[in-house]
Structure 1
Amino acid sequence: MNNILITGAASGIGAATARLFHSRGWKVGLLDINHSALAELAAELGGVWHAELDVADPGAVREALADFAALHGGQLRLLFNCAGLLRLGHFEEISLEEHARILQINVLGLLQMTHAAFPYLKATSGAQVINMGSASGLYGTPHMASYSASKFAVRGLTEALELEWQRHGIRVGDLMPPFVRTPMVDSQHFEPPALRRLGVKLRAEDIAAAVWLQAGQSQVHRPIHWLFKLMYWSGQVSPAWVNRLMMRRISRE
């Protein structure tokens, strides 16, 4: 029986992914710091396993993984690292504490989850890690500097582990979408020029569908939406200044 453990599962992309995988017969585990929203989703899905979790707490991370894996014979088929924070605005106007928290959740939290999941992934045939990356991990994006930096870190970790964990039969990849219509984006009080020009073309359900595709056919990076796919693949064959020029144009205030 396939199982998936999702961080940041209480809303947005995490919740949409939980609904999709549950509807297709997977055993789903839900993790999020928002206990009330998490409990509501768990009840909606028929009382699936869930636990309140701050991914920045290493002890709680280890305990949550052990508890979920114990229900499945010590195995974990798929870890979806979806928990994340976003703060849009001018770099100097965002407090240092907020910048640090973004990196703590988006990078350290993801690293801790992946590290603690290793023994359960290793014990599972066809095991896989899917990390929530971003189009902002391709070229640094103005007005979301620390978020963009965090997604560069996710990209680097993904690439390294995809190579390193081949010997264990564990596949590692990430998803790289541009802006997605989620509560995290909708709650922002600052609209970057890039968001205004590009718009928000994707829904949480679109990303959940990409997680499903990734679970069946793993890629190191899975760019999402035709415009970003064009930017991504052109960046593989063009000099770096091409992406810089494009970013300057769409981010001009």
Structure 2
Amino acid sequence: MNNNILITGAASGIGAATARLFHARGWQVGLLDINTEALADLATELGGCWYRQLDVTDIAEVKASLAEFCAKNDGQLQLLFNCAGILRFGYFEEIEHAEHVRIMQINVLGVCNMTHAAFPYLKAARTGQVINMGSASGLYGVPEMATYSASKFAIRGFTEALELEWARHGIKVADLMPPFVNTPMVSSQQHVPASLLRMGVNLQASEIADAVWRQVDSHAVHQPISLQFKLMYWAGQVSPAWLTRLSMRWLSRR
């Protein structure tokens, strides 16, 4: 079986950059996104690779898409990259409740849906792997992006638990934890949180795609990305909670 990867949120940003990288390195690539037009353009760019429109919150669509892609790959899935996600910067009380709900549905339930439905195909591959799109905001709650931060805490916990559970099946589970990345999801925001002003947007989508590639051969559960955040991450592992909180207060101060 050729190596294959199925990517949600593949139409732009990190998902598209990852698709281009893995396709260039000989992998069979499957593209999933709710944005059909951009998805079709990318599939054409990549030589007509398989793609389907998908709302990751619709479990029936999720199951059908996985079955169709994996049928083309001997019923196996080597790598699932859960990249689909949405973001809204702003003060919690000023964001409509429906937007908070949608963030949790896509960022958390969508990952759960994809991963659960992918299990038999990952197991059949014998060396199956799941990589979840986490975030630096999953390390400590970030003001002005509270619900997004909460969703990434959920992904961090989900990843840690499933990595232990699925070891018995030979399936690796990990997540990537970058700070702000220069993608349409970030650049389209109207509100700019203080933490972004202080940290800046110093990563490109292609750098996260490189991290996905490295993770294929890594046994790490969490992959913090960028020197800036790696220092924060490892300091947070050994520092008392109050010091991490103090650091976040400084980053979030206007």
- TM-score when scaled to structure 1? 0.99
CA distance in 1, matches of 2:187, 2:210: 21
CA distance in 1, matches of 2:214, 2:138: 21
1:85 and 2:86 aligned? yes
Report the counterpart of residue 74 of structure 2 in structure 1: 73
1:38 and 2:39 aligned? yes
CA distance in 2, matches of 1:144, 1:16: 25
Deviation at 1:237, TM superposition (A): 1.0
CA distance in 1, matches of 2:253, 2:174: 32
CA distance in 1, matches of 2:242, 2:230: 17
Amino acid at match of 1:227: Q
CA distance in 1, matches of 2:163, 2:242: 27
Alignment of 1:28-177 (within 5 A): 28-177=29-178
Greater displacement, 237-246 / 8-17? 237-246
CA distance in 2, matches of 1:47, 1:92: 44
Q: Describe the SS at the equivalent of 1:123.
A: helix
Amino acid at match of 1:220: V
Deviation at 1:218, TM superposition (A): 3.2
CA distance in 2, matches of 1:73, 1:44: 25
Once superposed, which parts of structure 1, at least 4 consecutive aligned residues long, lie more than 2 Å away?
A: none
Residue segments in structure 2 that go unaligned for 5+ positions in a row: none
Amino acid at match of 1:174: D
Residues 16-74 of structure 1: per-residue CA shift (max 9 Å, x gap): 00000000000000000000000000000000000000000000000000000000000
Is the 2:126–2:169 contact (alpha carbons within 8 Å) kept by the matching residues of 1?
A: no
Amino acid at match of 1:20: L
Deviation at 1:233, TM superposition (A): 0.6
Question: What percentage of residue pairs aligned between the two structures are identical?
Answer: 69
Amino acid at match of 1:109: G
Greater displacement, 2-11 / 216-225? 216-225
Greater displacement, 117-126 / 18-27? 117-126
Report the counterpart of residue 251 of structure 2 in structure 1: 250
Residues 144-186 of structure 1: per-residue CA shift (max 9 Å, x gap): 0000000000000000000000000000000000000000000
Q: Describe the SS at the equivalent of 1:116.
A: helix
CA distance in 2, matches of 1:210, 1:11: 17
- TM-score when scaled to structure 2? 0.99
Deviation at 1:242, TM superposition (A): 1.4
Residues 196-236 of structure 1: per-residue CA shift (max 9 Å, x gap): 11100000000000000001213100000011101111111
Q: Describe the SS at the equivalent of 2:125.
A: coil
CA distance in 1, matches of 2:35, 2:181: 20
Corresponding residue pairs, total: 253
Amino acid at match of 2:73: H
Residue segments in structure 1 that go unaligned for 5+ positions in a row: none
Amino acid at match of 1:98: E
Report the counterpart of residue 227 of structure 1 in structure 2: 228
Report the counterpart of residue 19 of structure 2 in structure 1: 18
CA distance in 2, matches of 1:218, 1:96: 38
Deviation at 1:128, TM superposition (A): 0.3
